Structure 1
Amino acid sequence: MATEQELSDFLKSVEKRAFKRSIYHVRDEDAALDIVQDSMMKLAEHYGDKPAAELPLLFQRILSNSTLDWFRRQKTRNALFSNMSDFESADGDGDFDLLEAFAGASDSQQIESAEDSTRRAQILHEIELQIQALPNRQREAFLMRYWEEMDVAETAVAMGCSEGSVKTHCSRAVQALAKALRARGILP
């Protein structure tokens, strides 16, 4: 059984990655924050008594389901209120600072020149755009495997599919990203 402190420590350790993963899926900071908070609450309420070792997979599954639920609600909302779009707020700037996630990366290295820093920011922005352009299942598998560093079996459990499907999704995602980044001159 996870103690209250273990649960708290686990949630603190995954919050930023979970938020980033949600941003990639929903492309809306407020919605991503809501999804992550909702997922954390569900984990604490329904699975807080599980062993600490089981929390990562449970949380990934809850986060995936919460994201799917958000898309379903959006689809329903859009179908019901599609003619009212003129009255909705257009303040969703959608700007997510990629460099924030890597803020400490250059501190441990030598100081970058302004040109290097700008080029790095451009590359990171392009990578983010290409990840967002991936089909949903490929993006989900890619982020779990390479962002969350989950193994194939864990990813399969979290996504509710076979290990073969995870491998296929990841392979296609990597190929699509490499092709897109080569086309933009980022990869040789």
Structure 2
Amino acid sequence: MDGSLPVPQPPLRTGRDRVVPVTDPPSEPGRPAPPATLEAFLGSVQRRAFRFAELGLHHRDDALDAVQDAMTRMLGYRDRPPAEWTPLFWTVLRSRIIDVQRRRTFRLSWLSETRAPDGDAIDWADDGPDPAREHDGREAWQMLGDAVRGLPRRQREAFTLRVLEEFDVETTARIMGCSAGSVKTHLFRAREALQLQLEDFR
């Protein structure tokens, strides 16, 4: 699996239905125009969304499920202006990731108390190889990814959205549901923590 996801398709139109083109307002100078269709938007964002989800969930299958669910839910927003798809999608995906994290925390709270018949604690760890790390020449990205995964959730979100996804402060604040000042604070703390962890690598 390479993180690619099938883009959910809308129901087919039948009979005499026709699509009426909608003219969007001109794009800001230096900023690419949003995709013309929701399917094109989802196809363009899926790899970055998977990376964002994997950093938050630390599990490829959970990340794929979260992204697929967010993409499916976006079908309900296809009538929104294309300029709104980006903050909407990342807000939906972030919410889905938090839901998975909460369910996982609840599940682990009682799994940690489970005992094997002989009285020893059951080892739930998966010792199998991680396909995401079986690539040579990725040491720098692996170290950064590990460091980002270790950040508190809000710091990780601020760093990923602002630095890796290159969203502006206002868009990041909208996705995270906080003020622009909070985004800057979380990002500052994230950079401080990452700098300390990656000093040896530099």
Q: Rg: which structure is higher?
A: 2
Q: Does residue 1:170 correspond to 2:187, yes or no? A: yes
State how 1:1-188 maps to structure 2 within 5 Å: 6-44=37-75, 46-82=76-112, 83=114, 86=122, 90=126, 93-97=129-133, 120-182=137-199, 184=200, 186-187=201-202
Q: How many residues align?
A: 164
Q: In proportion to residue count, which structure has more helix?
A: 1
Structure 1 Cα separation of the partners of residues 197 and 109 of structure 2? 33
Distance 1:81 1:130 in 2: 26
- Is the partner of 1:96 in helix, strand or coil? helix
**C-alpha displacement at 1:12, in angstroms?**
0.6
Give the Cα–Cα distance (whole angstroms) in 1 for the partners of residues 184 and 134 of structure 2.
27
Could you say which residue in structure 1 is the equivalent of 2:28? none
Where 1:128 maps in the other structure, the secondary structure is: helix
Is residue 22–residue 36 contact of structure 1 (8 Å, CA) maintained in 2? yes
* Aligned AA (1:8): E
For the aligned residue pairs, the C-alpha RMSD in angstroms reads 2.6
The structure, 1 or 2, with the larger RCO (C-alpha pairs under 8 Å, 6+ apart) is 1
- Distance in 2, Cα, partners of 1:52 & 1:98: 37
Q: Which moved more, 1:35-44 or 1:78-87?
A: 78-87
Structure 2 residue aligned with 1:110: none
Measure, in 1, the Cα distance between the counterparts of 2:105 and 2:92. 20
CA gap of 1:130–1:79, structure 2 versus 1, over 3 A, is closer
Percent identity of paired positions between Structure 1 and Structure 2: 37
**Where does the alignment leave 5 or more consecutive residues of structure 2 unmatched?**
1-21, 25-34, 116-120
Q: Distance in 1 between matches of 2:45 and 2:111?
A: 35
C-alpha separation between the residues in 2 aligned to 1:92 and 1:170?
34
